Chains A and B, each alone.
Chain A
């Protein structure tokens, strides 16, 4: 865990208010794992004051990528960073996905910006000779992010693209694809989606890891700002930043 001043190599606009920032950092690139995150200081002033957490989206050579949509002041500043400007990054932080274990097919389930951590995970899954199926959902067509995904199935709440319904409805419809193989689900998205997915996985006895979110101040375990309820021990919260952000779906209340 380190703080690094890293130069922006490129700002890529994917459209629909979504950006990719390509950053040169050999150090982070060689250490970070899919599902881990970075806590980024977007400004040297006191506005915004706190760092902003982002999943690592991809790694190529000495470069790392983050993917974000412009929400508030922090992401607005990030979207305007240009080549050569340095940004102060804290990371790699947290625990990433476990993807080298004994399964044959990786099933990606992403809702909206929940697509962010998967390009890197998919790259690593392929290196580990896993099959990949991606289920991608959004509220409407413009929310559907397929960047870096493979073997894609799509759903939208309003039916503007793919199946009309949630991504979990979509998964349910294609359940036969999950039946005859050893599969493991990897997911990231809004809490309502993760909740529905958890129910689906428990019912169908499927292995599943989810990447969770919570408002954060430090990102490395010193502020206690990011609790998540454990299913095993109700006396004590887990911390999203340190114990997560990736959890086995069985271990946390969503």
Chain B
């Protein structure tokens, strides 16, 4: 029996523990189930799903950087239909909350995807990836456009009863302005952060190392940025935050919770240590016992500034 209560709430979403696996770093669960017991983790966030399958970018899609990596996968995914037909049946075998991450090129596509997926009972919540180019606005990312983020929140909320999480981009001046519009338009929580835009060149060929030229930076390199973004939201907007960015171990999780996260997601670390989630859960439990934390949720936003 657990001596420590690891359960947390992210708005209306109840989780047995705060450890979620981040979008794009767990596929649809199959491969990870060979490394960890999916029934033990807090939840899985699917690879971003779009209405139709997407092929994604040509190689090279990834490159390593100091304490991090850049990726430009190009949202390669199987699409909503194949996901429901081929991926959900496997995930249903587990008792693990499933959060569907959705990516789209138009606001209508976000709505359409949500409408289809909301019928599926085994989906616990939606996470909307707004770090996607808006084709109607010449490819400007939705995530940089505050009114677009507001519109997406309101319109998606209108077609689902499930908890709605908006995953925010860090590539903006004030992330809390975006969290506020999500709150005002009825969103239940925000995830912060998605990757930071970066690039890397080969100095001998003078060419970009990745095909897409720029990519998203993830891993330990972004942790201090992510923590500051979580803190900013926590100080300015009363909305639950799921902390993401460079989390490698249980100490990082505690830090993110103290900064104001109700739960967290593990991304890049899954590539390096696929067992990280289970090891982190053990570490969290031991920390709570040692420092007499009865409920891990007590940690959320417990930062002492003075």
Interface residues of chain A, those whose CB is within 8 Å of chain B, are: 1, 3, 41, 46-51, 90, 214-229, 235-237, 242
Contact = CB atoms under 8 A, between A and B. Distances in A.
B55 A236 contact: yes
Nearest to A41: B272
B270 A48 contact: no
Given A1-B34, A3-B274, A223-B73, A46 B61 contact: no
A228 B59 CA distance: 7
Contacts of B272: 41, 49-51
23 contacts: A41-B272, A41-B273, A46-B220, A50-B64, A50-B271, A50-B272, A218-B270, A220-B274, A222-B25, A222-B26, A222-B270, A222-B271, A223-B24, A224-B56, A224-B76, A225-B71, A226-B61, A227-B56, A227-B59, A229-B58, A235-B55, A236-B55, A237-B76
A48 B272 CA distance: 11
A217 B47 contact: no
A40 B71 CA distance: 20
B71 A223 contact: yes
A130 to B, nearest CB: 33
B62 interface: yes
Interface in B27-59: 27, 30-32, 34-35, 47, 53, 55-59
B71 to A, nearest CB: 7
Nearest to B71: A225
A49 B70 CA distance: 12
Nearest to A236: B55
Contact of A46 (B57, B58, B219): B219
A218 B35 CA distance: 13
Interface residues of B, number: 38
Interface of B: 24-27, 30-32, 34-35, 47, 53, 55-64, 66-69, 71, 73, 76, 219-220, 248, 268, 270-275
A215 B31 contact: no
Given A224-B47, A237-B55, A3 B60 contact: no
A218 B30 CA distance: 14
B53 A236 contact: yes
B67 A225 contact: no
Contacts of B47: 224
Contact of A3 (B56, B58, B76, B275): B275
Name the residue among B27, B30, B271 with the largest chain A CB count within 10 angstroms.
B271
Contact of A51 (B27, B62, B271): B271
A219 B34 CA distance: 14
Given A3-B275, A49-B272, A51-B272, A223 B62 contact: yes
A1 B274 CA distance: 11
A53 B69 CA distance: 16
Nearest to B270: A222
A229 B68 CA distance: 27
Given A50-B272, A223-B25, A227-B59, 18 more contacts: A3-B275, A46-B67, A46-B219, A49-B69, A49-B220, A216-B62, A218-B270, A218-B274, A222-B31, A222-B270, A223-B73, A223-B271, A225-B62, A226-B59, A229-B58, A236-B55, A237-B55, A237-B76
Contact of B274 (A90, A228, A229): A90
B61 A224 contact: yes
Nearest to B21: A222
